[in-house]
Amino acid sequence: MSEEAAEFVVPEEDGPATGQEMKRAGRQMAIAALVISFFLFLGRIAGYVKDLVIAHYFGRSSAADAFYSIYNAIIFNIHTKFESLMRPAFLPEFVRVRDTDGEERAWRVAGAAALMEAAALVAITVFLELAAPWLIRLLWPKLATDARSFDLAVVMLRIMAPSLLFFSLSLMPELALHAYKRFTLPAVAEAAFRTGLLLALLAGLYMVWRPSTPTAVYAAAAAVVVGGALRLFVQLPGIAAFLRHVRLVAFWRDSSVRAMLLLMPPIAISLVFSYLRVLADSVFAVHVGEGVYTCLVFGRKMIDAPGQILPLAVSFVVFPFLSQWAVQGERARLGRTLVGMTRAMAFVFLPATVALMVLARPIISLVFEHGEFDAEGVRLASLALYCYAPAVVFLAVEGSINKWYFALKDTATPSYAGVASAILHVVIAWFGTFVLQGSVAALALALTISKSLKVIVLYVLLRGRVEDVNLRAQVRWGLRLALAMATTAAVIWLLADHTTGVLEAWHPPVGGTKVRLLALLAIVGTGGGLWYAAACWLFGVEEVRALAVGLAGKLRRRRGDG
C-alpha cells in the first residue's frame, strides 16, 4: 500500500507508536467506519422506501412538492444547520474541558449548551407555527395560488415544526458520544429515525388517513415527528451514566459556552447562505412547473446514497485524530492523511459517477416509476441525476476536508468558501431558470458546478498548512486513474447499450420491466466493476494492488491455519 493510503487507515496513537499500536489504531478506525456505514446504509434504504411510498401514492403532485419543499427547505435544513454550527464548536470544547477539568465540569458545559440550543429551537418552532401561512405565501407563491395546495402546505408545516425540538436536540447526545469515540449508537439512532419515519408513514396512510384522500399527505408530515423523537430517545441510554452531572445553568454565564459562541459567526454566515441555496432550489423548481422539485429531490437522493454513507463515516472517525495531530504540530501526518483520504474517495467514487451518468434513466425507473410517478417524472428525475452525478466525488470529500480546517481551528476559510459557493449556486440556478427557461438540469448543474469549485479552492488554500504532499507523485497517480476511468466509462456504456437491446427481447414470467432493469444494472455493474479493477491493475493504480496483496495475504494465512 502507498505511504499516503497507509497514513489514512493506520493513524498514530498518542506519542511515539510502535507498528503494532499503529495497526491496532487502524483496525479500530476501520471497524468504526464500517459499523457507521452499515447503519447509515440501513437508514438510507428505509429513506428510499419512504420515497417510493410517496412516489406511488402522490406522484409528482403539488402535495408531494409541498411536503418535500417544507421538509427539505425548512425542517431538515434547519436541523443540518444546527449540526454544522454545533459540531465544530461544541465537540472540541467539550473534549478540552473533560480532559482538563474533569467529566463533571464537561457535562455542565453540555447542559448549558443544550439549554442554549433548546431555547433557540423553541423560538423557531413557535415562529413556524404562527407564521406558517405567511411563510408558504412568501417562499412558494405559485404553490399558494391553489387553495387546496396552500391549505395542505400550511397544515403540514404546523405538523412538522415540533419535530425540530426532538430532531435537533438529538445532536447533543450524538456529539457527546462522538467525543468519547463511541460512534455506533448515534449511527443506530440515525437508522432508527429513517426507519421510524417509514413505519409511521405506512401506519398513518393505512390507519389514520386513507391513501386516496387529499389529506393523506399529512401522514408523511406526522411521520417526521415520530422519526425525530426516535433519533433523540435512542441515544439517551448511551449518556445515562453522565446525566447526573448535567446542570441546566444559564448558558450566557458559562465561559466555555462563550468560547463556543466565538467560533460560530463564520459558520453561521455560511449556514445562512447554504440555507438560501436550498430554499432557492425549491422556489425556482416550483416556478418551473408542478412536480419539478419532487423530481429534483429524487435525482439528488441517488447521489446522496454513495456520498453520505462511507464518506460521512470517515469524516466522523478521522476528526479526533486530526485534532490530536494539529495540536502536536504533525503537519506532515496531516498532509499524508489528506492525500490518502482523497485518493481513497476518488478510487471508490469515480466509477460511481460514471455508472450514475450512464445508467441514470434505468436507475430512476427502477426505484421511482410506480403508481402516480409517470414516464415524464422518470425523464425529469433522470436528467437531474445525470447533471448531479459529476459532483459525487467532490461531495464525498467535502465533509472530510472541512475537518482539516476545523482541526487547525480555522472555521473562517471553509465557511466563507461555502458562502461564495452558495452565491454561485443561486446565480447559476436563477440564470438557468429565468433567462434560459431551463428545467431540472439548470438546478442540478448549479450544485455540481458550485460544490466542485468550492472543494477545489479548499484544497488549494490548504497547501502550505500541511506538509509532505508530493504533488508530482499525486499528478502521476491521477493520470493513471484517469486512464483506468476512461476505459471503464467506455466499457460501461457499451455494456449498457448491448445489454439493453438483448433484455428488450426477454419476457420474464414475473416482474416484467422491473426484473429487466434489475438484470441490466446487475450485468453492467458487475462487468464494469471487474473491468475497473483490471484497468486499475493494468495502469498501476496502487490502491487496487494493495487490496489484491491484502486479500492474497489473508488467503495464505487461512490456508496456513487450516
- In tens, the pLDDT along 106-160 reads 888 888 888 888 888 999 999 999 999 999 888 888 777 888 888 888 999 999 9
d(CA 362, CA 322): 41
- Residue 520: CB atoms within 10 A of its CB come to 21
Question: Which cell numbers hold the place of 320?
Answer: 479526533
d(CA 322, CA 331): 10
Could you tell me if residue 156 is left (phi over 0), alpha (psi between -120 and 50 degrees) or otherwise beta?
alpha
The answer to pTM > 0.75 is no
Question: Which cell numbers hold the place of 87?
Answer: 459540531
Q: Residue 449's pLDDT is what?
A: 95
Query: Taking a C-beta distance cutoff of 8 angstroms, is the pair 543, 346 a contact?
Result: no
Crossing angle between the packed helical segments 77-101 and 310-328, to the nearest 10 degrees: 40
d(CA 280, CA 185): 35
Share in percent of the chain as helix, strand, coil (round to 5): 85, 0, 15
- Residue 145: CB atoms within 10 A of its CB come to 10
d(CA 4, CA 476): 14
d(CA 161, CA 86): 20
Choose the most confident range, by mean pLDDT, from 99-103, 121-125, 322-326, 364-368.
121-125
Give the list of residues 6+ apart from residue 310 with CB closer than 8 angstroms, or none: 33, 37, 348, 396
Choose the most confident range, by mean pLDDT, from 24-38, 84-98, 340-354, 493-507.
340-354
Q: Mean of the per-residue pLDDT values for the chain?
A: 82
Q: Residue 103's pLDDT is what?
A: 84
pLDDT for 23 beyond 70: no
pLDDT for 1 beyond 60: no
pLDDT for 201 beyond 50: yes
Mean pLDDT of 535-541: 87
pLDDT in tens, 519-530: 888 898 899 999
Choose the most confident range, by mean pLDDT, from 18-32, 240-254, 322-336, 458-472.
458-472
Q: Residue 252's pLDDT is what?
A: 64
Q: Residue 134's pLDDT is what?
A: 92
d(CA 447, CA 293): 14
Query: Taking a C-beta distance cutoff of 8 angstroms, is the pair 53, 205 a contact?
Result: yes
Q: Residue 420's pLDDT is what?
A: 94
Give the list of residues 6+ apart from residue 409 with CB closer than 8 angstroms, or none: 92, 326
Choose the most confident range, by mean pLDDT, from 129-133, 334-338, 508-512.
129-133
Question: 463 in helix, strand or coil?
Answer: strand
* Residues facing 463 on adjacent strands: 466
What is the helix (H) or strand (E) element at residue 257, kind and residue range? Answer: helix 255-288
Query: Taking a C-beta distance cutoff of 8 angstroms, is the pair 385, 448 a contact?
Result: no
Query: Taking a C-beta distance cutoff of 8 angstroms, is the pair 217, 156 a contact?
Result: yes
Lowest model confidence (mean pLDDT) among 335-344, 363-372, 384-393: 363-372
Query: Taking a C-beta distance cutoff of 8 angstroms, is the pair 249, 108 a contact?
Result: yes
Question: 275 in helix, strand or coil?
Answer: helix
Q: Residue 27's pLDDT is what?
A: 60
Q: Residue 557's pLDDT is what?
A: 61
Q: Residue 11's pLDDT is what?
A: 38
Q: How many Å is the Cα radius of gyration of the chain?
A: 24
Residue type, 180: Y
Query: Taking a C-beta distance cutoff of 8 angstroms, is the pair 235, 189 a contact?
Result: yes
d(CA 447, CA 284): 13
pLDDT in tens, 430-449: 998 888 877 788 889 999 99
Query: Taking a C-beta distance cutoff of 8 angstroms, is the pair 297, 373 a contact?
Result: no
Q: How far is CA 496 from CA 348, 378, 517, 526, in A?
A: 21, 18, 11, 11
Mean pLDDT of 383-391: 91
